[in-house]
Each structure stands twice: as structure tokens, then as C-alpha cells.
């Protein structure tokens, strides 16, 4: 029988001990719960994608026998929304259980105005229930007040061994087998993201040859590495203007790769020059997007490729071991993923006459339905959105 749930759902942590590789965060949050009477009113769980922030919030609710009231970014858009939705939630008694936890998932995604943030602070202060917020990045200036009044608990990229152990456990429960080196590679590829590892594992076990899961990714990385080599090592030529068309990555992402690897290639004044150029590309790009002068994207390509190559005069010629951009890239990819998910949910919400929030909540359970071409057509999904679904299922 085909699998109908995702393994990340099926193996969603229930107890503290199910949260792997986050010992210090778990310990901190347990401590904080014990003294929560006099402690801070809110906890922020922050860290890279797929490391267990949302999962941990739900575990806390379970372990403390609390019901959870979850808000998402669109509930937090402005002061009015906050007063409508968050205020009553912070004041009202729990409905079904003794305690209530208010979860503000992905608080860093909110695009609230000044009034919104102030209101959030006020409600955090006055709330009669524990508030847990999650975020990838909490260091934005607009959160400085919020940081002061909450307990910050950081979750880290999960270490290799913890990821591999959990994957082996899952394989055992599923009575499935995967060769050790494929497993090792999936684990490495996850770069500390447990969700990515579990998703890849589920995908791999459904393939006739599980090692296929690695091929696609490996090619992609080869691509980007050879492009970096061309940009950094080659003499600037017209061919540079075309290389970005040959790679299946958005330009924004390539920029992150270049930025990450500039210091490995350049030093001193050259490095400054290269960074300056990259900055110009960024400004240029924003202008293009704002004014929608799409055909100027060509020049952006030129800046990036030809420009960077020519900002180098002497420089390193030997082999450079390029790094993948880690944190920022992940945040960026994750944002893109969330965007796609949101845009699909929006279309579905319109179609089914339900709120976007509910559509997002139901997303994991109905996602598979969106794989049907008929449904895709009905919802008018774009190629990008379909690709997102295929990748995730």
C-alpha cells in the first residue's frame, strides 16, 4: 500500500526524549517550565530549519498537558489583528485542558508595522498563559525589545550522529533497508536539518534504487561548483554571460554561493572590490524587481559572472575547496519553500471557501491530493508550485 502520511508527521516527537540532538535546549526549556511562575512570560525557540522548534513547542504542550493555541504570521499582521485574535487567546481560559500554551510559529515571518510589534509586546507581558514563539532568525532590530522580555533558547543544527541514529530507528520501524553508505550520504546532505533527512529517507525507500536520491543533488552541486570555478578562475569572456542559464538555480541563490566563497578566492583589495560588486548586483536586482524591467536581468548576470571574474587580477589559481553557503542559504531556501506552500494553500483556500490559515493547517494531510494533475489544473497551480509539491512528496 502506498504511504499516505509523511514520515515527518508519523514520527513527530511526542515526548522530550523524542527530540534528538538538542539536549541543551530541552534541558533549558524544562528548567524554565519549572520556574515559569516567576520566570519570563515567553520563550523563543530559534535556530535553523528542520531542527525541531515547532516540534518542541508541541512536545511542551503535551508534557505539560496543555492545549495549544497556534497563531501564524498572517494573524499578526497589524495591531487590529492582534487585538482581535491574540488578545482574547491570552485572556481566555483553556477550553479542554487545565493549561494553555500560545504558539506563535515563525514569528520572524511577520511583517508587522510598529504598532503591531508594540501590541505583541504588551500582550506578551499581560498574557495569563505561557507563550512560545519560534523563529529562524531573531536578531532583527525590530525584535530587540521582544528579545529582552523573553527567554531565548537556541536549537542548533543537529549533529550527524543524532540524525543517523534516528534514521536507523525509523528504518527499523518501517522494516525497510538502505545501504549504509547511502544512509551516510543522506545524513551528510541534510546538513543538520532533520526534516530534510527524514524526507529524503522516505523518498529513497520508495525508489527502486535508493541511491538515486543522491544523484540529482550531486549533479546540482557539481554544477554550482564548476560555475564557481569558472567565475573565480577563468579569464572573463563572453561565455560568462551565458553560464547562469545552464544551471538550475535561481540567481539569488547563486549570489549566496558566490558571497560565501569570495573570501576563499580573494584577499585584500580584490576581496573588497568583489564584495562591492556583489553589493551593486544586489541593488541593481532590487531595482529590476521593483520596476519590473525583466530584460535587465541579463545585465545582472553579466555583473555577477563577467564582473566578478574581472575584478581579479593576480589571485589564486590552484584548487579551491568551495563551501556551500550554510545558514543564510537555508533560511533563503526555507523562505522560498514557505512561500510556495502559502501560494498553493491560498489557491486551495479560495477554491474550498476556507481561510488560508486553515488551508495551511490542513496542508500536510491534503498535500498528496494536489499531486493529481486534475486537481492541479483545477487550482491553476503554476509550474513552480507543482515542482515544489513533487519535491516534497
Q: Under the rule (CB under 6 A), what is the footprint of ligand ATP?
A: 8, 11-13, 18-22, 49-55, 134, 136, 158, 166, 194-195, 198, 334
Which of ligand ATP, Mg ion, none is residue 334 near (CB under 5 to 8 Å by kind)?
ligand ATP
Q: Taking CB under 5 A as the rule, does residue 8 contact Mg ion?
A: no
CA-to-CA distance for 331 and 138, rounded, in angstroms?
Answer: 12
Nearer Cβ to ligand ATP, position 18 or 282?
Answer: 18
Decide whether 12 or 229 has the Cβ nearer to ligand ATP.
Answer: 12
The least distance separating Mg ion from the CB of residue 347, rounded to whole angstroms, comes to 22
Residue placing its CB nearer to Mg ion in the complex, 54 or 185: 54
**Cα gap 231→311, rounded to integer Å:** 10
Q: Which is nearer to ligand ATP, 166 or 381 (CB)?
A: 166
204 phi and psi angles, rounded to 5 deg: -60, -40
Query: 195, 155 in Cβ contact below 8 A?
Result: no
* Residue 247 CA, distance from chain mean position: 22
- The nearest distance, CB 274 to ligand ATP, in angstroms, is 31
Question: How many angstroms separate the CA atoms of 288 and 282, rounded?
Answer: 10
Grid cell locating 338 = 514557505
State the binding partner of 201 from Mg ion, ligand ATP, none, CB within 5 to 8 A by kind. none
**Which residue, 166 or 277, is less far from ligand ATP as judged by CB?**
166
Q: Is 6 in the site for Mg ion (CB under 5 A)?
A: no
Between residues 119 and 200, which has the closer beta carbon with respect to ligand ATP?
200
User: In this chain, which residue has its C-beta nearest to Mg ion?
Assistant: 54
Instruction: List the single partner that 301 binds among ligand ATP, Mg ion, none, CB under 5 to 8 Å by kind.
Output: none
Q: Which does 150 bind (CB under 5 to 8 A by kind): Mg ion, ligand ATP, none?
A: none
To ligand ATP, the closest distance from the beta carbon of 284 in angstroms equals: 30
**Residue number with the smallest Cβ distance to ligand ATP:** 52
Residue 54 as a binder of Mg ion (CB under 5 A): the answer is: yes
Residue among 50 and 325 whose Cβ is closer to Mg ion: 50
- Pick from Mg ion, ligand ATP, none: which does 167 bind, CB < 5 to 8 A by kind? none
- Residue whose cell numbers read 489544473: 377
Minimal distance in Å, beta carbon 54 to Mg ion?
A: 3
Total residues in contact with Mg ion, by rule CB under 5 A: 2
Contacts to Mg ion from residues 96-115, by CB under 5 A: none
Per partner kind, with CB cut-offs from 5 to 8 A, the member of ligand ATP, Mg ion, none near residue 202 is none
Cβ distance 288 to 311 under 8 Å? no
Q: Under a CB-based contact definition with an 8 Å cutoff, are residues 247 and 227 in contact?
A: yes
Provide the minimum distance between the beta carbon of 313 and ligand ATP in the complex, in angstroms, as a whole number. 42
Which of Mg ion, ligand ATP, none binds 191 (CB below 5-8 Å, type-dependent)? Answer: none
Of the listed pieces 22-30, 45-53, 140-148, 248-256, which binds Mg ion according to CB under 5 A? 45-53
Q: Which stretch binds Mg ion (CB under 5 A): 49-57, 121-129, 178-186, 308-316?
A: 49-57
Residue 136, contacted partner among Mg ion, ligand ATP, none, CB below 5-8 A by kind: ligand ATP
∠ CA 85-89-95, rounded to 5°: 130
The rounded distance, in Å, linking the Cα atoms of 369 and 376 is 9
202 interacts with Mg ion by CB under 5 A: no
C-alpha cell at 232: 573565480
Of these partners, Mg ion, ligand ATP, none, which one is at the site of residue 49 (CB under 5 to 8 Å by kind)? Answer: ligand ATP
Which spans of this chain sit near Mg ion (rule: CB under 5 A)? 53-54
Amino acid at each position: 500500500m502506498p504511504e499516505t502520511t509523511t514520515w515527518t508527521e508519523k514520527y513527530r516527537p511526542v515526548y522530550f526524549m523524542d527530540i534528538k540532538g538538542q539536549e541543551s535546549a530541552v534541558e533549558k526549556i524544562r528548567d524554565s517550565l519549572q520556574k515559569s511562575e516567576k520566570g519570563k512570560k515567553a520563550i523563543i525557540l530559534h535556530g535553523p530549519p528542520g531542527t525541531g522548534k515547532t516540534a518542541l513547542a508541541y512536545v511542551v504542550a503535551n508534557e505539560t498537558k496543555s492545549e495549544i493555541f497556534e497563531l501564524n504570521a498572517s494573524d499578526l499582521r497589524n495591531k487590529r489583528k492582534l487585538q482581535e485574535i491574540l488578545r482574547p487567546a491570552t485572556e481566555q481560559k483553556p477550553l479542554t485542558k487545565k493549561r494553555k500554551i500560545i504558539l506563535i510559529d515563525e514569528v520572524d515571518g511577520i511583517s508587522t508595522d510598529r504598532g503591531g510589534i508594540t501590541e505583541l509586546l504588551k500582550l506578551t507581558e499581560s498574557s495569563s498563559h505561557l507563550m512560545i514563539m519560534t523563529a529562524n532568525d531573531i536578531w532583527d532590530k525590530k525584535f530587540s525589545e521582544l528579545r529582552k522580555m523573553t527567554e531565548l533558547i537556541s536549537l542548533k543544527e543537529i549533529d550527524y550522529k543524532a540524525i543517523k541514529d534516528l534514521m536507523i530507528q525509523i528504518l527499523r520501524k518501517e522494516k525497510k533497508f538502505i545501504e549504509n553508505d547511502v544512509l551516510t550520504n543522506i545524513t551528510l546532505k541534510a546538513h543538520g536539518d532533520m526534516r530534510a533527512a527524514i524526507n529524503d529517507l522516505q523518498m529513497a525507500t520508495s525508489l527502486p534504487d535508493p541511491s538515486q536520491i543522491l544523484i540529482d543533488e550531486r549533479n546540482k552541486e557539481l554544477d554550482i561548483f564548476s560555475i564557481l570555478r569558472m567565475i573565480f578562475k577563468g579569464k572573463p569572456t563572453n561565455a560568462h554571460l551565458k553560464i547562469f542559464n545552464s544551471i538550475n538555480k535561481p540567481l539569488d541563490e547563486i549570489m549566496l554561493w558566490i558571497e560565501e566563497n569570495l573570501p576563499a578566492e580573494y584577499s585584500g583589495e580584490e576581496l573588497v572590490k568583489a564584495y562591492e560588486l556583489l553589493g551593486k548586483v544586489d541593488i541593481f536586482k532590487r531595482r529590476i524587481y521593483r520596476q519590473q524591467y525583466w530584460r535587465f536581468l541579463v545585465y545582472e548576470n553579466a555583473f555577477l559572472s563577467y564582473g566578478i571574474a574581472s575584478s581579479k587580477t593576480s589571485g589564486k589559481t590552484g584548487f579551491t575547496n568551495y563551501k556551500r553557503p550554510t545558514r543564510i542559504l537555508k533560511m533563503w531556501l526555507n523562505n522560498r519553500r514557505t512561500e510556495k506552500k502559502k501560494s498553493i494553500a491560498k489557491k486551495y483556500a479560495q477554491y474550498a471557501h476556507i481561510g488560508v490559515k486553515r488551508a495551511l493547517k490542513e496542508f500536510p494531510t491534503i498535500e498528496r491530493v494536489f499531486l493529481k494533475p486534475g486537481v492541479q489544473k483545477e487550482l491553476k497551480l503554476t509550474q513552480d508550485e507543482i515542482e515544489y509539491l513533487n519535491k516534497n512528496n
